[in-house]
Amino acid sequence: MAFDTTILSLTTGSTETVTDLTRYCEDFLARAAQGRDGLLNLFVPHATAGLAILETGSGSDDDLLAALHLLLPADDRWQHRHGSAGHGRDHVLPALIPPHATLPVIGGQLELGTWQSICLVDTNRDNPQRQVRLSFLG
């Protein structure tokens, strides 16, 4: 068994984003997995961001943000009230889009479906600095 881990640091900016992490994961696995089978675990150590597996580039990422606006409006209904208006909803986001994901790795390669990508979902406009821990166990 081998274990390797790294921290990916990202700047998501001042807008709500869905950031594709697939390439970063593949680069990490090329070094860490070395052709082995195992698991890739991703973890976001933030209270206002999550990880989603979805199709990107076809509008699904924008659809996800639109759906989150319907489910979690950025208004003053939230009891958690520091930061930008509606920021309380950002603290509810990880209950719907979890801050973790575990994916199979076969022969050192991610086993994603044809259109699947690993994405960081960040609706918190107040904190553009994000980290994602990537860990390979195999």
Please state the separation of Cα 44 from the chain's center in Å.
7
Q: Could you report the per-residue pLDDT of 71-109, keeping only the tens digit for each?
A: 999 998 999 888 888 899 999 999 999 999 999 999 999
Angle formed by the axes of helices 88-96 and 60-71, to 10°?
A: 120
Unique residue bearing structure tokens 């509810």 = 92
> For residue 121, what are the CA distances in angstroms to 17, 45, 111, 125?
6, 13, 21, 12
Q: How far apart are CA 97 and CA 53, in angstroms?
A: 10
Task: Say which DSSP state 10 is in.
Answer: E
Q: How far apart are CA 50 and CA 44, in angstroms?
A: 7
What ranges do the domains of the chain cover? 3-137
pTM of full prediction above 0.85: yes
What pLDDT score does 114 carry? 94
The domain defined by 3-137 carries CATH number 3.90.1170.50: no
Name the token pair of 88. 């309380």
pLDDT (tens place) for every residue of the chain, 138 residues total: 899 999 999 999 889 999 999 999 999 999 999 999 999 999 999 999 999 999 998 999 999 999 999 999 999 899 988 888 889 999 999 999 999 999 999 999 999 999 999 999 999 989 999 999 999 999
Name the token pair of 78. 């939230």
